[in-house]
């Protein structure tokens, strides 16, 4: 028999045997590769969460990112910015001549569990003794002027990221990321001048002229991310999201496992900062505080985050 014919017959037999075996063998489920090494990753499929969490939205500005003009027009109304898109772009170009061209982020990985503590400033942190638990996280995000000195037992000592805007600015150590939440072009200009010539200008509150921080760890929130949080998470309720709620949304783009401390009122319904006096008249201003708190509770009940109420 011709050798080519023999090879052809052998291949037919092998193919038939494979088909036969495939039909008789049980099918095994596909191996699911987890996106992180946590017990449960935040990004695992969940219909409700996927309606709100859009991982394609860039949370931070970078040198190669171009802000859509419709997002700029939404952002400029937050604090009545009168200058135009061209001025904004020129200012951003100057920013990235001084600060890192891309944000310093820990990327997700199947062999890593990025844990995140989002620490607000609520009075419910008093006597909570959460300090050691907060410090145990990989990423500890604090908001505005939330103090640690004198409150270590309740709020911890570790800070990897400090959220601020010019009116809430404070000096940082060399290992902490300054995360700017800018609400107007002047805020971006402040960042440049606070690290160089000094800023001199007016606002609704006093502004630090200079700031001590590591300029290589500066990160700037994307205005389009603010718009996304307002539209997708809050369904356009309120004028714009609070700094605390935007920080929570931001943490979902930075971490796999999120624990939240220091949000909401105390057990008597009072809103105040753990480092200040009780203020029974304090409210949430232009932000939809009630709805933000309800979403936080919903995320907690769905086991997407863990919300620590405090001890008061």
Q: Is 269 annotated as a binding residue?
A: no
Q: Is 309 annotated as a binding residue?
A: no
Q: Is 85 annotated as a binding residue?
A: no
- Taking the C-alpha atoms of residue 259 and residue 32, their distance in angstroms, rounded to an integer, is 26
Q: 3-class DSSP state for residue 44? A: coil
Residue 240: active-site member: yes
Q: Under 8 Å CB-to-CB from 11, ≥6 apart: which residues?
A: none
φ and ψ at residue 189, rounded to 5 degrees: -65, -40
φ and ψ at residue 174, rounded to 5 degrees: -75, -10
Q: Tell the burial category of 167 from Cβ atoms under 10 Å away from its Cβ (0-12, 13-18, 19+).
A: middle
Q: Is 244 annotated as a binding residue?
A: yes
Residue 287: active-site member: yes
- Taking the C-alpha atoms of residue 228 and residue 301, their distance in angstroms, rounded to an integer, is 23
Q: Is 146 annotated as a binding residue?
A: no
- Which residue in this structure is represented by tokens 């200058």? 83
Q: Is 79 annotated as a binding residue?
A: yes
Q: Which of 88, 240, 274, 308 is catalytic?
A: 240
Two tokens at 220? 């700037």
- DSSP-assigned states of every residue in 174-234: TTSEEEE--SSHHHHHHHHHHTTT------SS---S---S-GGG-EEB-HHHHHHIIIIIS
Q: Is 54 annotated as a binding residue?
A: no
User: Cα torsion at 69, 75, 77, 82 (round to 10°)?
Assistant: -70
Q: Which of 161, 230, 253, 287 is catalytic?
A: 287
- Taking the C-alpha atoms of residue 262 and residue 122, their distance in angstroms, rounded to an integer, is 5
Q: Is 165 annotated as a binding residue?
A: no
Q: Is 204 annotated as a binding residue?
A: yes
Q: Which residues are annotated as a binding site for substrate?
A: 79, 121, 144, 204, 240, 244, 264, 273, 287
Q: Which residues are annotated as a binding site?
A: 79, 121, 144, 204, 240, 244, 264, 273, 287
Residues taking part in catalysis: 240, 287
């Amino acid at each position: 028999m011709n050798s080519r014919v023999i090879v052809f017959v052998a291949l037919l037999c092998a193919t038939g045997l494979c088909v036969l075996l495939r039909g008789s063998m049980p099918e095994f489920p596909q191996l699911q590769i987890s996106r992180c090494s946590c017990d449960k990753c935040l990004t695992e499929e969940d219909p409700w969460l996927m309606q709100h969490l859009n991982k394609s939205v860039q949370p931070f500005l970078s040198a190669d990112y171009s802000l859509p003009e419709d997002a700029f027009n939404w952002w400029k109304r937050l604090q009545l910015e009168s200058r135009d898109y061209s001025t904004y772009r020129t200012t951003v170009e100057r920013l990235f001549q001084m600060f890192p061209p891309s944000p310093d982020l820990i990327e997700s990985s199947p062999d890593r569990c990025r844990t995140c503590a989002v620490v607000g400033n609520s009075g419910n942190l008093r006597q909570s003794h959460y300090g050691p638990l907060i410090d145990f996280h990989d990423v500890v995000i604090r908001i505005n002027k939330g103090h640690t000195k004198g409150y270590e037992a309740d709020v911890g000592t570790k800070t990897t990221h400090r959220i601020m805007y010019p009116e809430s600015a404070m000096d940082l150590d060399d290992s902490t990321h300054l995360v700017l939440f800018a609400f107007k072009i002047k805020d971006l200009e402040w960042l440049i001048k606070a690290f160089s010539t000094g800023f001199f200008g007016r606002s609704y509150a006093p502004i630090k002229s200079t700031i001590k921080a590591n300029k290589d760890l500066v990160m700037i929130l994307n205005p389009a991310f603010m718009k996304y949080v307002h539209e997708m998470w809050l369904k356009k309720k309120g004028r714009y999201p609070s700094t605390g709620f935007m920080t929570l949304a931001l943490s979902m783009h930075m971490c796999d496992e999120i624990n939240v401390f220091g949000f909401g009122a105390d057990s008597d319904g009072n809103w105040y900062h753990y480092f200040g006096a009780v203020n029974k008249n304090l409210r949430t201003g232009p932000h939809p505080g009630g709805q933000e708190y309800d979403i936080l509770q919903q995320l907690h009940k769905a086991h997407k985050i863990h919300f620590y109420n405090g001890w008061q």
